[in-house]
């Protein structure tokens, strides 16, 4: 079965196509499970890879889109969003909330509505690559459209 036939990839692709019919899922022969793997597969800078990180924040979940060469700062997030308790979401929560497994979490097409925060450092790149529902599938998008398609808030959230 091709990666593109997987339900999770088709869900991400449907969301992309509804936003812009020119957005396509790219199926890679090699894994893009980590930002470094993705950058290697795509022959781009690690920073142009969008990491989708789900956090458990007080009584809800939030998704942070972070440049592949940066780390999300829990202190900045807690301060800016007035959150007391925050930690990486558990593997089973990632699957339940987003519908994706770790390594393939797309910024779009989630099973549940979640607030999305986009690190302002991503605007350094003309082209960005984000996961599309599977560790071997990505899509290319620019910063402006990433903000629009995710309805995300731009913040300084990295170390």
Mean pLDDT of 37-66: 96
The string of pLDDT tens digits covering residues 70-107 is: 999 999 999 999 999 999 999 999 999 999 999 999 99
pLDDT at residue 31, as a whole number: 81
In 10 A of CB 42, how many CB atoms? Answer: 18
Per-residue pLDDT at 29 exceeds 80: yes
Q: What CATH code is assigned to 3-155? A: 3.90.960.10
Per-residue pLDDT at 49 exceeds 80: yes
Residues 6+ apart with CB under 8 A from 7: none
Going by their DSSP bridges, the two strands 86-88 and 49-57 should be labelled as antiparallel
Per-residue pLDDT at 1 exceeds 70: no
| Residue ranges of domains in the chain | 3-155
Residue 112's pLDDT band, with cuts at 50, 70 and 90, is very high
Q: Are 65 and 52 in contact (CB under 8 A)?
A: yes
Is this prediction's pTM over 0.75?
yes
């Amino acid at each position: 079965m091709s990666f593109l036939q997987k339900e999770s990839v088709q869900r991400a692709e449907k969301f992309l196509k509804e936003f812009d019919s020119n957005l396509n899922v790219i199926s890679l022969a090699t894994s893009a499970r980590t930002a470094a793997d993705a950058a290697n597969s795509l022959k781009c800078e690690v920073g142009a890879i969008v990491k989708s990180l789900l956090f458990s924040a007080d009584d809800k979940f939030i998704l942070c889109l972070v440049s592949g060469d940066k780390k999300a700062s829990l202190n900045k997030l807690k301060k800016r969003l007035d959150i007391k308790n925050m930690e990486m979401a558990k593997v089973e929560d990632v699957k339940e909330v987003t519908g994706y497994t770790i390594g393939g979490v797309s910024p779009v097409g989630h099973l549940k509505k979640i607030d999305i925060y986009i690190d302002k450092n991503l605007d350094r790149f003309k082209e960005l690559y984000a996961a599309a529902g599977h560790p071997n599938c990505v899509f290319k998008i620019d910063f402006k459209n990433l903000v629009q398609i995710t309805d995300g808030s731009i913040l300084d959230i990295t170390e």
